[in-house]
Amino acid sequence: MVKRLFKCVKEYKTDSILAPLFVVLEVIMEVLIPLLMANIVDIGIKNGDISYILKIGIILVISAMMSLLFGVLAGRYAASASAGFAKNIRKEMFHKIQSYSFSNIDKFSTSSLVTRLTTDITNVQNAYQMIIRIMVRAPIMFIFALIMAIRINSKLSLIFIVVIPFLGIGLYLIMTNAHPNFKKVFQSYDKLNRIVQENLTAIRVVKAYVREEHETDKFHDISSEVYSYFKKAEKILAFNRPIMQFTMYACILLISWFGGKMIVYGAMSTGQLMSLIVYASQILSSLMIFSMVFVMIAISRTSAERIVQVLDEESNLINKENPVYTVQDGSISFENVDFSYVGDPNKRCLKNITFSIKAGETVGIIGGTGSAKTTLVQLIPRLYDVTAGKIKVGNIDVRDYDMETLRNEVAMVLQKNVLFSGTIKENLRWGNKYATDQEMIHACKLAQADDFIQSFPDQYDTVLDQGGTNVSGGQKQRLCIARALLKKPKILILDDSTSAVDTKTDALIRKAFREEIPNTTKIIIAQRISSIEDADKIIVLDNGEINGMGTSEELLKSNKIYQEVYHSQVKGAEDNEK
């Protein structure tokens, strides 16, 4: 897992190596400086040797300058290495997700992908910075300070052997106990976020049902949970400082006692005593820092795992070798197609589907909720691969095409469609990057969107909010259709894309299709019978199977489901006509 992530360091490898290198140099200076300081006290001041004090003082100043330089460089490189590392991971993840197929996307929920790309990466970035700065610093500081302490007085250094394990065990206990509690904290945090999120999206429902109090109660429950878990976790961490202080003070006292004796017997100098105390604080604080970093890494480990999951997910739709780059025409044929989202032949959503469509035909698909209409059309631009059977577009198996080629020729207006923040023009250009203004207006006219766009003060430069919330549902659908039309596709699929458009506009759209793009194959999924009534062919789907197929007239004679739907919607209107 770690290896996988380290691959993302790439061009920041130099920085990632330089940072710890300078840290090492900085630490060495930091350890040497107290030694110089001890000399000043012991030799210079004791003997009243001003020139010696000056000499060592200047060396000390130079060392401090060097230490400063190393410290600054280490900080600099650590910053660019970690920011760069995060950038690369983010980039690799995002690019990876772009290569995902629909079924890959289905596997991760949208919100989880977002958290992985944001919070998780930030966690890893912080951990990385910690590793290259402090993870190097702490052990080196520990070792050097220990060496120096031993050099000054090996007997007194035995104190550390007693104290360090005490601190180590204490910290270890704190960390191991705190970690599972923090995990719980994060889980309840997730829940809290979810409740706020749902409350925000459903605020109208909340207010309409006067459920403010109910929601507040729900929130209180979860915020109490966060409160108690957090308190529990932090209570353990509260021991951190006192334990650290305790050992530190114990060291000072022990050193003073034994060191004092040694001084009296002439085995040690006062300056050495002072240095020992400084080294003691360095040794202990490096241990402490080490343990803190350890916690951070442990916490970010979960994040790293989640990132790697995304990176390791392989797209299950890939181009064949030597794919076909041109689509002959808009004919489609399904040959004994079975499909299951999970690839399990026992859980098929589509069963033995066979039909063919000639180029330029208009085909309507109707069926109840859950009859797999959407699933069926999503197979045409190869958003999913069939489980069994074959789908051909332009007489060639969809799996033989280059995917981009295929999808550029098969335009699909999704049921759950999305507009992006930006101007209307920018949104339309999704269909064709190089579309001229004329082309855009033409497409919008076909989709019956031009009128309302022209009525906006900024017309085609009107800025849409995220998700297109500042246009109505029907307007949104028409914009989505226009966007798809700009592709000038050979096949156009509308998946219940005019449900919020009124019948008249709906009829106008279909009329425009018939007159302006006669050679494009049109597949229309609709609830409204009027939307598909005039199609060349209507497919009635029921429970993943074709229940009937033919023109409206034929189906009216033979197909029960169609009759039912037709009569519920159209007959009433006709009665009134008479």
Burial label, 379 (beta-carbon count in 10 A; 0-12, 13-18, 19+): buried
- Which of 432, 376, 292, 308 shows the shortest CA–CA distance to 547? 376
Instruction: Give the interface size with other proteins as a residue count (CB under 8 A).
Output: 178
From the list 79, 164, 299, 359, which residue makes contact with other proteins (rule: CB under 8 A)? Answer: 79
From the list 5, 16, 25, 129, which residue makes contact with other proteins (rule: CB under 8 A)? Answer: 129
**Of 351-390, which residues contact other proteins (CB under 8 A)?**
366-371, 381, 383
**Of 5-44, which residues contact other proteins (CB under 8 A)?**
26, 30, 33, 37, 40-41, 44
Length of the chain counted residue by residue? 578
472 near other proteins, judged by CB under 8 A: yes
From the list 6, 172, 257, 325, which residue makes contact with other proteins (rule: CB under 8 A)? Answer: 257
Residues 6 or more apart in contact with residue 72 via CB below 8 angstroms: none
Burial label, 405 (beta-carbon count in 10 A; 0-12, 13-18, 19+): middle
Residues 6 or more apart in contact with residue 361 via CB below 8 angstroms: 521, 522, 536, 537
Question: In what helix (H) or strand (E) does residue 98 lie, and over which residues does it extend?
Answer: helix 50-98
- Judged by CB under 8 A, which stretch of 153-161, 254-262, 303-311, 343-351 contacts other proteins? 254-262
**Distance, CA of 150 to CA of 153 (rounded, Å):** 5
CB of 529 to other proteins, least distance (A): 7
* Cβ atoms of 511 and 531 closer than 8 Å: no
- Judged by CB under 8 A, which stretch of 139-147, 265-273, 333-341, 389-397 contacts other proteins? 265-273
**Distance, CA of 543 to CA of 368 (rounded, Å):** 8
CB of 99 to other proteins, least distance (A): 7
Q: Using the minimum distance from each CB to other proteins, give the nearer residue, 62 or 158.
A: 62
318 near other proteins, judged by CB under 8 A: no
512 near other proteins, judged by CB under 8 A: no
Show the tokens assigned to 319: 């181009």
502 near other proteins, judged by CB under 8 A: yes
**Of 538-567, which residues contact other proteins (CB under 8 A)?**
561, 564-565
572 near other proteins, judged by CB under 8 A: yes
**Distance, CA of 531 to CA of 577 (rounded, Å):** 19
**Of 326-345, which residues contact other proteins (CB under 8 A)?**
none
Which residue type, as a one-letter code, is found at position 3?
K
Task: Output the CA torsion 263→267→269→275 (10° steps).
Answer: -100
- Judged by CB under 8 A, which stretch of 331-339, 357-365, 407-415, 435-443 contacts other proteins? 407-415
Q: Using the minimum distance from each CB to other proteins, give the nearer residue, 305 or 404.
A: 404
Residues 6 or more apart in contact with residue 441 via CB below 8 angstroms: 450, 460
Beta strands in 321-467, from DSSP E residues, in sequence order? 332-339, 350-357, 362-367, 388-393, 396-397, 410-413, 422-423, 463-464
Q: Using the minimum distance from each CB to other proteins, give the nearer residue, 331 or 552.
A: 552
Q: Using the minimum distance from each CB to other proteins, give the nearer residue, 22 or 142.
A: 22
Q: Using the minimum distance from each CB to other proteins, give the nearer residue, 356 or 370.
A: 370
CB of 7 to other proteins, least distance (A): 17
What crossing angle do the helices spanning 270-312 and 13-39 adopt, rounded to 10°?
170
**Of 276-305, which residues contact other proteins (CB under 8 A)?**
277-278
Q: Using the minimum distance from each CB to other proteins, give the nearer residue, 235 or 557.
A: 235
From the list 417, 497, 521, 559, which residue makes contact with other proteins (rule: CB under 8 A)? Answer: 417
Q: Using the minimum distance from each CB to other proteins, give the nearer residue, 136 or 403.
A: 403
**Of 43-72, which residues contact other proteins (CB under 8 A)?**
44-46, 48, 50, 53-54, 56-58, 60-61, 63-65, 67-68, 70-72
**Distance, CA of 352 to CA of 346 (rounded, Å):** 13
87 near other proteins, judged by CB under 8 A: yes
Q: Across the strands, what pairs with 84? A: none
From the list 9, 25, 113, 549, which residue makes contact with other proteins (rule: CB under 8 A)? Answer: 113
454 near other proteins, judged by CB under 8 A: no
210 near other proteins, judged by CB under 8 A: yes
From the list 4, 7, 151, 214, which residue makes contact with other proteins (rule: CB under 8 A)? Answer: 214
- Judged by CB under 8 A, which stretch of 292-300, 336-344, 347-355, 498-506 contacts other proteins? 498-506
* Cβ atoms of 36 and 149 closer than 8 Å: no
504 near other proteins, judged by CB under 8 A: yes
* Cβ atoms of 363 and 522 closer than 8 Å: yes
Show the tokens assigned to 242: 């006192």
207 near other proteins, judged by CB under 8 A: yes
Q: Using the minimum distance from each CB to other proteins, give the nearer residue, 7 or 261.
A: 261
578 near other proteins, judged by CB under 8 A: no
From the list 14, 176, 187, 216, which residue makes contact with other proteins (rule: CB under 8 A)? Answer: 216
Q: Helix, strand or coil for residue 569? A: helix
281 phi and psi angles, rounded to 5 deg = -65, -35
CB of 143 to other proteins, least distance (A): 20
* Cβ atoms of 43 and 49 closer than 8 Å: yes
CB of 53 to other proteins, least distance (A): 4
Show the tokens assigned to 64: 């401090």
- Which of 283, 256, 289, 28 shows the shortest CA–CA distance to 150? 283
What crossing angle do the helices spanning 240-264 and 158-201 adopt, rounded to 10°?
160
348 near other proteins, judged by CB under 8 A: no
Distances 382 to 109, 183, 318, 473 between C-alpha atoms, Å? 21, 40, 10, 28
153 near other proteins, judged by CB under 8 A: no
CB of 428 to other proteins, least distance (A): 11
Site string for other proteins, 476-495 (x = CB under 8 A): -------x---x--------
